[in-house]
């Protein structure tokens, strides 16, 4: 066995350095290097892991097989029974696979997994929860509150890797949840629990255990706001799937995303609402976000951002306040820099004087619309708030706004419009190039009696045109404070109703 020697391990990215430095030269993190005693061989003294022959693997087993002869029967995903989780996992958890569920403390990771364990157990699977942070009594109490106190879910209090291995060997579960990986330590590693060396060593050991026992393993990993804290980011390459669970502490909405998924696409998102009885899937998020909408209020515009592959109809709300020498910007659910850009374009290219006003913009219900497709809706909401005129209530607006005030096309337009129409929003203000590029759906209903079509797409090539179509040209209006007249260019007769 090689002589143990000292390295300086970055607690953020896991890189090892022979000398201490104030900053990690690999990831750039400051003050993240800590001493670690290592013995050459497998990382952190852990057992080797990964697909292929396990620790007991025999080199003689490595016979190539034709790809078409590879047996897939044992690799069918096991649905967890939590619809939104299964959607993100492309069907469920695979036997022998390893999944990392990362998220800030308090997001609801333990709740989600307890519900998943109970749902799996209800379908006859054997499920094990390794409680490394909480006592079995705390878990039982939580299960009672959630109504997930079902037979078939086993719990073991364990904080050391060999204990986990013994528990898995004795129960032979189909699914194992380790909550959390930062609270488990390997006695063979000298570093304290929660350190990068421990997290890596334990993860190696647990992944190898999952491969050998054919149990689907889910590791819980806490991350801080900047994604650091001993590990989860450095573990991503070790596991098959990385899920991130996000939520705002002031909102009950939780979003589950697959950051990496070896068995399916990563664009799917799952949406949950945290309530008194735990997490409930939100299968119709658009209706969820629009639930409290005040129809006809100035400053409110609808748009359809994509959350992963899913189009969601959301409400962008704007409030333009009095002008001040140092105008303030408050932005929630959108990119603040982008809103600043749109304010400048609105003023310069469309003559809407918002530049020196206080501006508040948010996406209602805790939703997000951080993509350029929402630009037009933000501009319309701002202009509507400033002028006091409401936008047409049944209209969605989609379009990227360029620096020249031009409207640029957005991707996946048919999908977005279909979602809007499903909810009864039949009018859509879209970039004129949408039509030219043939993205306009063929199915517009055009009544023969000359009445207005049930579905309308109103193309505009500039922000100015779009404002005229949506708000029309009215008499110059004054702000509540009586500061500035605002004239919106356009023809009132053309206005969308």
List residues near Mg ion by CB under 5 A: 110
| Residue 108 interacting entry, from Mg ion, ligand TYD, none, C-beta within 5 to 8 Å by type | ligand TYD
Name the residue nearer to ligand TYD (CB basis): 106 or 453: 106
**Shortest distance, position 259 Cβ to ligand TYD, whole Å:** 16
| Residue 69 interacting entry, from Mg ion, ligand TYD, none, C-beta within 5 to 8 Å by type | none
Name the residue nearer to ligand TYD (CB basis): 146 or 412: 146
Name the residue nearer to ligand TYD (CB basis): 69 or 276: 276
d(CA 361, CA 440): 29
CA torsion, ordered 92, 93, 98, 100, to nearest 10 deg: 40
d(CA 393, CA 217): 48
**Shortest distance, position 275 Cβ to ligand TYD, whole Å:** 6
Which two three-digit tokens encode residue 451?
A: 């009445």
d(CA 267, CA 288): 21
Name the residue nearer to ligand TYD (CB basis): 272 or 289: 272
Nearest to 461 by CA among 403, 414, 399: 399
Residue nearest Mg ion, Cβ-based: 110
Place of tokens 């488990």: 184
Name the residue nearer to Mg ion (CB basis): 110 or 148: 110
d(CA 264, CA 215): 19
Count of CB atoms situated within 10 Å of the CB of 109: 24
| Residue 241 interacting entry, from ligand TYD, Mg ion, none, C-beta within 5 to 8 Å by type | none
| Residue 146 interacting entry, from ligand TYD, Mg ion, none, C-beta within 5 to 8 Å by type | ligand TYD
Q: Name the 3-class secondary structure at 58.
A: coil
CA torsion, ordered 200, 201, 206, 211, to nearest 10 deg: 90
Q: Which residues contact 28 (CB under 8 A, 6 or more apart)?
A: none
Name the residue nearer to ligand TYD (CB basis): 51 or 106: 106
Strands 33-38 and 5-10: antiparallel
What number of CA atoms fall less than 13 Å from residue 8's CA on the CB side?
13
Name the residue nearer to ligand TYD (CB basis): 153 or 386: 153
Name the residue nearer to Mg ion (CB basis): 109 or 416: 109
List alpha helices for 172-284, DSSP H: 196-213, 232-235
**Shortest distance, position 50 Cβ to Mg ion, whole Å:** 27
User: DSSP labels for 98-123?
Assistant: EEEEEE-TTSSHHHHHHHHHHHHHHT
| Residue 456 interacting entry, from Mg ion, ligand TYD, none, C-beta within 5 to 8 Å by type | none
- Residues contributing to the site for ligand TYD (CB under 6 A): 103, 105-111, 142, 145-146, 274, 276-278
| Residue 97 interacting entry, from Mg ion, ligand TYD, none, C-beta within 5 to 8 Å by type | none
- Give the helix/strand (H/E) hosting 327: none
- Give the helix/strand (H/E) hosting 348: helix 336-350
**Shortest distance, position 473 Cβ to Mg ion, whole Å:** 56
**Shortest distance, position 117 Cβ to Mg ion, whole Å:** 13
| Residue 28 interacting entry, from ligand TYD, Mg ion, none, C-beta within 5 to 8 Å by type | none
**Shortest distance, position 182 Cβ to ligand TYD, whole Å:** 12
d(CA 196, CA 192): 9
Name the residue nearer to ligand TYD (CB basis): 146 or 150: 146
**Shortest distance, position 114 Cβ to ligand TYD, whole Å:** 8
d(CA 141, CA 358): 48
**Shortest distance, position 114 Cβ to Mg ion, whole Å:** 9
| Residue 274 interacting entry, from Mg ion, ligand TYD, none, C-beta within 5 to 8 Å by type | ligand TYD
> 163 has which bridge partners?
none
Q: Which residues contact 63 (CB under 8 A, 6 or more apart)?
A: none
| Residue 107 interacting entry, from ligand TYD, Mg ion, none, C-beta within 5 to 8 Å by type | ligand TYD
Task: Return phi, psi of residue 269, to 5°.
Answer: -130, 150
Q: Do 101 and 245 meet the contact criterion of CB atoms below 8 Å apart?
A: yes
| Residue 106 interacting entry, from ligand TYD, Mg ion, none, C-beta within 5 to 8 Å by type | ligand TYD
**Shortest distance, position 181 Cβ to ligand TYD, whole Å:** 12
Name the residue nearer to ligand TYD (CB basis): 245 or 425: 245
**Shortest distance, position 109 Cβ to ligand TYD, whole Å:** 4
d(CA 240, CA 222): 18
**Shortest distance, position 100 Cβ to ligand TYD, whole Å:** 13
| Residue 231 interacting entry, from ligand TYD, Mg ion, none, C-beta within 5 to 8 Å by type | none
Name the residue nearer to ligand TYD (CB basis): 149 or 400: 149
């Amino acid at each position: 066995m090689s002589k143990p020697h000292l390295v300086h391990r970055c607690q953020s990215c896991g890189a090892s350095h022979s000398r201490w430095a104030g900053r990690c030269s690999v990831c750039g993190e400051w003050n993240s290097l800590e001493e670690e005693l290592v013995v050459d061989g497998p990382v952190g003294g852990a057992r080797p892991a990964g697909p292929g022959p396990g620790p007991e693997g025999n080199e003689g087993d490595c016979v190539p097989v034709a790809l078409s002869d590879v047996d897939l029967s044992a690799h069918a995903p096991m649905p967890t029974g939590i619809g939104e989780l299964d959607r993100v996992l492309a069907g469920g958890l695979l036997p022998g696979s390893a999944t990392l569920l990362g998220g800030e403390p308090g997001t609801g990771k333990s709740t989600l997994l307890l519900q998943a364990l109970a749902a799996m157990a209800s379908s006859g699977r054997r499920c094990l929860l390794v409680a490394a942070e909480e006592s079995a009594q705390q878990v039982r109490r939580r299960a009672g509150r959630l109504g997930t106190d079902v037979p078939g879910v086993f719990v073991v209090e364990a904080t050391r890797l060999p204990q986990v291995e013994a528990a898995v060997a004795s129960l032979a579960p189909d699914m194992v949840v380790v909550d959390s990986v930062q609270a488990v330590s390997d006695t063979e590693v000298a570093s304290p629990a929660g350190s990068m060396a421990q997290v890596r060593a334990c993860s190696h050991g647990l992944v190898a255990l999952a491969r050998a026992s054919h149990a689907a393993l889910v590791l819980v990993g806490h991350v801080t706001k900047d994604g650091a804290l001993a590990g989860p980011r450095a573990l991503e390459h070790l596991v098959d799937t990385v899920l991130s669970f996000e939520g705002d502490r002031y909102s009950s909405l939780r979003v589950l995303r697959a950051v990496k998924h070896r068995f399916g696409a990563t664009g799917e998102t799952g949406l949950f609402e945290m309530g008194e009885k735990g997490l409930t899937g939100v299968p119709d998020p658009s209706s969820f976000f629009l639930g409290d909408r005040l129809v006809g209020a100035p400053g409110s515009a609808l748009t359809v951002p994509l959350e992963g592959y899913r189009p969601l109809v959301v409400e962008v709300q704007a409030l333009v306040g009095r002008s001040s020498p140092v105008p303030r910007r408050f932005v929630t659910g959108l990119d603040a820099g982008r809103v600043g850009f749109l304010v400048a374009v609105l003023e310069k290219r469309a003559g809407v004087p918002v530049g020196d006003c206080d501006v508040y913009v948010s996406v209602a219900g805790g939703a997000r619309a951080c993509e350029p497709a929402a630009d037009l809706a933000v501009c319309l909401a701002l202009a509507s708030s400033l002028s006091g005129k409401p936008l047409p209530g049944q209209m969605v607006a989609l379009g990227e706004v360029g620096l020249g005030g031009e409207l640029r096309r957005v991707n996946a337009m048919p999908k977005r419009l279909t979602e809007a129409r499903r909810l009864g929003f039949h009018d859509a203000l879209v970039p004129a190039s949408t039509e030219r590029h043939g993205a306009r759906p063929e199915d517009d209903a055009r009544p023969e009696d000359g009445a207005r079509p049930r579905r309308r797409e109103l193309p505009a090539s500039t922000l100015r045109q779009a404002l005229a179509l949506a708000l029309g040209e009215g008499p110059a209006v004054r702000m509540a404070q009586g500061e500035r007249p605002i004239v919106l260019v356009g023809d009132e007769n053309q206005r969308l109703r």
